[in-house]
Amino acid sequence: MRKFFVFLALLATSACASPYVAVPFEADQHDISTITLIEDVGSADVIAYEVASAGSNFGLVGALIDAGVQSSRRQRVEDVLAAANFDAQAYFRARISEELEALGYEVETSNAFEREGSKLIASHPSAEGETTLYLDAVLRSYGLLSSGAGTPFRPHAAVEAQLVNGDSETVLMRNSVMYGMIGTPQGHILLSPDAKYAYSNREELLEDPDRLLASIQDAISETAVTVARLLAR
């Protein structure tokens, strides 16, 4: 449940007036051949959330019923992913690594960090005499979103990433990528969901597990590839 409220906080933050402040990567200013991907994945959880659901409009009882419906829907989606042995975090990192390698980088990994929730790592000390460039990429939420009753559920993923020089703690790139996000939060890179993945209700969500899995994989893959391409040279 705590993870669910983390997602609600992300949604509320994304909808506020202050735009996200990104740091663009200036490829011509940096001679980089190796990137170290931080392995701690954080606390992302699958969602299947209807933002403006009808039940929440009918007082406390309605809100409690709505919370139960939302939780049940999410659990059913989790069950589908578990039955397919789908590890979203491993898939996310594999897609980032593949795309970075396609861009010509050598990719290493580091298990030297512990993440707090889904926050970006605050300090990145390099080994003595070495300068390590750390890519911290956090899959903060993934699954399905609907803007409200009568609107389809579509695949969703939200990622934040930064590239940091561990020697100087200089941020060389920071950005946020959102796939299938509700609204138009300012400053983030927004990706539109594939039109072929739309579900009118829970029954349609669950009637084809392979399609459901493919839609969530698409959301995660597109965000991962976009993060990697922010570092294109």
Could you give the count of Cα atoms lying within 13 Å of 1 in the half-sphere of its Cβ?
2
Which CATH number is 213's domain given? 3.40.50
CA–CA distance, 30 with 171 (Å, rounded to integer)? 12
Number of domains in the chain: 1
- Domain assignment present for residue 15? The answer is no
Q: How confident is the prediction for the chain on average, in pLDDT?
A: 84
- Domain assignment present for residue 80? The answer is yes
Where does residue 4 rank: exposed (0-12), middle (13-18), buried (19+ CB within 10 A)?
A: middle
* pTM attached to this predicted model: 0.86
- Domain assignment present for residue 14? The answer is no
The pLDDT assigned to 69 comes to 55
- Domain assignment present for residue 138? The answer is yes
- Domain assignment present for residue 207? The answer is yes
- Domain assignment present for residue 206? The answer is yes
- Domain containing 124 equals 2-8+21-229
- Domain assignment present for residue 13? The answer is no
> Any residues with CB less than 8 A from the CB of 219 and at least 6 apart, and which?
142, 155, 156, 157, 179, 180, 193
- Domain assignment present for residue 16? The answer is no
Look at residue 208 and tell me whether its pLDDT is greater than 70: yes
